[in-house]
Amino acid sequence: MELEGRTVLLGVSGSIAAYKAVELASRLRKAGASVHVVMTQNATRFVSPLTFETISRNPVHVDPFAPAQWEPEHTALADRADLFVVAPATANILAKFAHGIADDLLSTLYLAARCPILVAPAMNVYMYRNPAVQENLERLRARGVKIAEPEEGMLACGYEGQGRLQEVERLVETIVQLARGLEAPRDWEGVSVLVTAGPTREPIDPVRFLSNRSSGKMGYAIAEEAALRGAQVVLVSGPTQLPSPPNVRRIQVESAEEMARAVEQTAGSAQVIFLAAAVADFTPVEVSPHKLKKGTAETWTLTLRKTPDIAASLGQRKGDRVLIGFAAETDDPIANARRKLTEKRLDLIVLNRVNEPGAGFEVDTNRVTLIFPDGTVEEWPLLDKREVARRLLSIVRDRLLVSSSPVAG
Ligand code: PMT
């Protein structure tokens, strides 16, 4: 009973796939969840509320002005929910969510909900590809809403392509995963955390830049885990392909200078800063406003200048903030990481041996060594980056935060 004790608010909007939500409601109930269904008026044209009432064994909510439901039902349902799942989500309901329109019970509940939200779009393939829909999804993603991407296949409209509601089996798996997140300890409650992640891009001209292989996975895992455990998290991210972790405020940057500015603006309120970004150390002195031509020369010399060292500048005005740096090293790793720990006045440095298989850039796993200013060295085995994040947060919480921050005590 993986969802025992959990309340799932299931929103159903007007798509032919609404009939699949009946199976979803049934599976969620069998997994132990208390399921409360909210339907749009259009959804009731596809499936009767009575069907959901029978399956969920709870009243179904449609009309925000229904006498029995009006009393602040729209917020009460949102308050009660551990998880909010909208399946199927039409283009229309996604647009309302993305733009804060609250003209029915479901869209009102979306605005009032504070729990993790999963939306499962289902629609015609061309509607799904339409930039309006994609932009709305992007907005929701950036706000931490989890999207269960529709699947490819034959659609009810007769076309073939991406637009089919994700299989119920997969949706249940995702919901169970989200519920597991709710079980995380709340030991970072009330702590403000700043995380830098991903690479930076240093422009050469309008089409070229200097960058590195960081995917952002390590930093995003830390941001996600810290938020799950109750921290208020700001994530300053270079360009990545990753969706925003739920309940994290993401600030998107490109260059090292932009990252330095974003950190400058947000570090003031941060008690703990994880510097997982792979920040370029140098940037071109000149950025051409026009695409540089290849010409006839066989070589090309770029003149570079140093970028601001974000970690070092935070270290210089540290106060009682906890600073955790990362080091991606290939040669003499311990000595190099130790030097960075001292020079940047960090409280801990997490060393990645980036030339080891399964560690460092891009991959989902990492093998790290923790080095503390008192000389203590802790070697960890190869772990999933999420597990590295989990253990790291526990260590920082127990060894560094308690002594430095009264808020966290
Ligand atoms: O993003 P992934 O693909 O998951 O990969 C994760 C990672 C390998 C990028 C990450 O775990 C990591 O090691 N990040 C630091 C990369 C690095 O090379 O750092 P560095 O040795 O250049 O710098 C040391 C520390 O100073 C880092 O915390 C860095 O964020 C910081 N720094 C560096 C330069 C600079 N101008 N400003 C900084 O703040």
Task: Kindly give the distance from the C-alpha atom of residue 132 to the centroid of ligand 1, in angstroms, as a whole number.
Answer: 36
Per annotation, catalytic residue among 127, 157, 251, 312: 157
Q: Strand 117-121 relative to strand 146-147: parallel, antiparallel, unpaired?
A: parallel
Query: What is the Cβ-side half-sphere exposure of residue 347, based on CA atoms within 13 angstroms?
Result: 22
Q: Which long-range contacts (CB under 8 A, 24 or more apart) does 59-63 make?
A: 61/36, 61/37, 61/105, 62/38, 62/105, 63/105
| Dist. CA 53 → ligand 1 center (Å) | 53
Kindly report the pTM of this predicted structure: 0.72
What is the tens place of the pLDDT at every residue in 78-108? 889 999 999 999 999 999 999 999 999 999 9
Are the CB atoms for 385 and 358 separated by under 8 Å?
no
Checking phi first, is residue 216 left (phi over 0); if not, alpha (psi -120 to 50) or beta? left
In whole angstroms, what is the distance from residue 242 CA to residue 103 CA? 32
What is the C-alpha separation between 409 and 397, in angstroms, rounded? 9
The minimum-distance atom of ligand 1 relative to the CA of 216 is 1
- CATH 3.40.50.1950 domain span(s) along the chain: 7-180
Residue 67's pLDDT is what? 59
Q: How much is the pLDDT for 409? A: 35
By alpha-carbon position, which residue is closest to atom 20 of ligand 1?
Answer: 327
Instruction: Give the H or E element holding residue 95.
Output: helix 91-99
Q: Which atom of ligand 1 is nearest to the CA of 263?
A: 39
Give me the torsion for CA of 63, 69, 71, 72, rounded to 10°.
-70
Q: How far is the CA of 177 from the centre of ligand 1 (A)?
A: 29
What's the N-to-C CA distance of the chain in angstroms?
Answer: 35
Q: Is the dihedral of CA 238, 199, 279, 317 positive or negative?
A: positive
- DSSP-assigned letter for residue 286: -
- 203 three-class SS: strand
Q: Residue 109 Cα, ligand 1 centroid: separation in angstroms? A: 40
At 334 the pLDDT is: 95
| Fold of the 186-289+301-403 domain | Rossmann fold (3.40.50)
Which pLDDT score, from 0 to 100, does residue 297 have? 87
Q: Is the separation of the CB atoms in 36 and 58 below 8 Å?
A: yes
Residues of each domain in the chain carrying CATH 3.40.50.10300: 186-289+301-403
Determine the distance separating the centroid of ligand 1 and the alpha carbon of 311, expressed in angstroms.
9
Residue nearest to atom 36 of ligand 1 (CA): 309
> Cα–Cα distance between 246 and 220 in angstroms, integer?
10
Burial letters 92-108, b for 16+ CB under 10 A, else e: bbbbbbbeeebebbbbb
pLDDT under 70: residue ranges of the chain: 66-74, 403-409
CA angle 217, 221, 226 (to 5 degrees): 155
**Cα 310 to Cα 13: distance, rounded to the nearest angstrom:** 47
Question: Distance between CA atoms of 211 and 161, rounded to whole angstroms?
Answer: 35
Q: Could you tell me the maximum CA-CA distance found in the chain, to the nearest angstrom?
A: 79
pLDDT for res 408: 39
pLDDT for 406 equals 44
- Which one of 214, 322, 339, 386 would you pick to mutate in the ligand 1 pocket, going by the greatest count of ligand atoms within 8 A of its CB? 214
Dihedral of CA 241/245/246/249: which sign?
Answer: negative
Q: Specify whether the CB–CB gap between 161 and 125 falls below 8 A.
A: yes
**Pocket of ligand 1, candidates 241, 279, 323, 346: which has the most ligand atoms within 8 Å of its Cβ, to mutate?**
279
Active site residue 157: yes
DSSP symbol at 308: P
Using DSSP, state whether 344 is helix, strand or coil. Answer: coil
| 17 DSSP 8-state letter | T
Nearest-10 crossing angle of helices 18-30, 49-56 = 10
Task: Give the span between the Cα atoms of 249 and 302, in whole angstroms.
Answer: 36
pLDDT of residue 360: 92
How much is the pLDDT for 48? 97
Pocket of ligand 1 (CB under 6 A): 196, 198, 214-218, 256, 275-279, 281, 307, 309-311, 325-328, 340, 352, 354, 360-362
| Closest listed residue to residue 40, CA positions, set 69, 60, 19 | 60
CATH superfamily of 7-180: Flavin prenyltransferase-like (3.40.50.1950)
